[in-house]
Amino acid sequence: MVPRDLVVFLEERQPWSGRLAFAASLARHWQAHLIATYVAHPLALDPHAGFAIGPALAQVIADRDAASAAAQEDARAAFAGLTERRSFSAEWRVARDDTGEALMLHARHAALAIMGPPYRQRPEPSALGMAEQMILACGRPCLLLPDAWPGDRLPRRIVAGWNGSREATRAIADAMPLLAEAGSVHLVVVPEAGTVVPHGAEPGADMATHLARHGVPVTLEQCRGDDAGAALLARCAALDADLLVMGAKGRSRISEVVFGGATRTVLAQVSLPVLLSS
């Protein structure tokens, strides 16, 4: 089923223009409702703010509010320019001081959440620093997009990781609208990577058959080695892939995120869009 609504998170002090353009391209392609959620930068994340006292603190707050309002207006103007007189519907939201479950609700009310690159690749903290928690806890597929990714480069060459797990199954199911429209899909299996799920005599063959039945132009690749994350990234580079699809294995609490090895490797090194489900 083609998604009918998407949410894209725009962060005040992080690059967002390419992310917004990509989300608008995808919404136009699917004729889906586009929700832009602008995430204001919390004062608590400004290190110098903690040193201000008395009148200085009031001035810091006033300056921050003025800068935040100007940045928000710039983002909203860009959003209007991309969405007015378009064939899809759109709405603008502002998340000010939303954290934890409140921020996740924006994702839970849409079929796909589009965010920036993994937190560990960012130069400074942001309100969406909990995005990795969102991957594991929001209940929706999350597409993490590099800041410099072209807004019109939609997925045509896709690499999908498969290890027989529940998380990988969910990721492939969530990505099916993209997989079915792709020019090529490479289903990558690393049998020696230590998965506890039995693959059978021909690892990945059953999932490749399942995808083919749904019209996916799939090629099964069985890769050697014991590092699934590195193998996936290597195939993405060799194929000049537009998207990596994989399950995110881990445990999330509001105060703690623990990822499995392959997920951890990908989040630290990935340089292309990655769709993660848990």
* DSSP letter for each residue of 186-218: EEEE-TTS--SS---SSTTHHHHHHHHHTT--E
Which distant-in-sequence residues (6+ apart) come within 8 Å of 158 by Cβ?
Answer: 175, 178, 179, 182, 184, 185, 186, 241, 242, 243, 244, 245
Kindly provide the residue ranges of all beta strands, DSSP E only, lying in 78-133, ordered along the sequence.
90-95, 112-115
Q: What percent of the chain has pLDDT over 90?
A: 59
Q: Please tell me the predicted confidence (pLDDT) of residue 104.
A: 86
One-letter amino acid identity for 54?
Answer: G
Residue 49 covered by a domain: yes
Q: What percent of the chain has pLDDT over 70?
A: 80
pLDDT above 60 for 196:
no
pLDDT above 70 for 254:
no
Regarding whether 226 and 188 lie in a shared domain, the answer is yes
Regarding whether 135 and 168 lie in a shared domain, the answer is no
Regarding whether 235 and 194 lie in a shared domain, the answer is yes
Average pLDDT over residues 226-251: 91
By CB atoms closer than 10 A (0-12, 13-18, 19+), residue 157 is middle
Average pLDDT over residues 257-261: 58
Residue-wise burial string across 217-244, b where 16 or more C-beta atoms lie within 10 A, e elsewhere: ebebbebeeebbbbbbbebbeebebbbb
pTM for the full predicted model:
0.87
Residue 179 covered by a domain: yes
What is the CB-side half-sphere exposure of residue 131 using CA atoms within 13 A?
A: 28
- Mean pLDDT lowest among 21-30, 45-54, 261-270: 45-54
197, 228 Cβ separation under 8 angstroms = no
Residue 176 covered by a domain: yes
Last residue of a domain, one of 122, 144, 166: 144
Name the band, by pLDDT with cuts 50, 70 and 90, for residue 67.
Answer: confident
Average pLDDT over residues 191-206: 77
What CATH code is carried by the domain that includes residue 191? 3.40.50.620
Name the band, by pLDDT with cuts 50, 70 and 90, for residue 62.
Answer: confident
Regarding whether 132 and 162 lie in a shared domain, the answer is no
Of residues 219, 142, 151, the one with CA closest to residue 182: 219
Regarding whether 192 and 83 lie in a shared domain, the answer is no
Place of tokens 């997925």: 155
Neighbours of 184 (CB within 10 A): 15
Domain residue limits at 32: 5-144
155, 273 Cβ separation under 8 angstroms = yes
pLDDT above 70 for 221:
yes
Name the band, by pLDDT with cuts 50, 70 and 90, for residue 195.
Answer: low
Q: Please tell me the predicted confidence (pLDDT) of residue 255.
A: 45
Q: Please tell me the predicted confidence (pLDDT) of residue 197.
A: 63
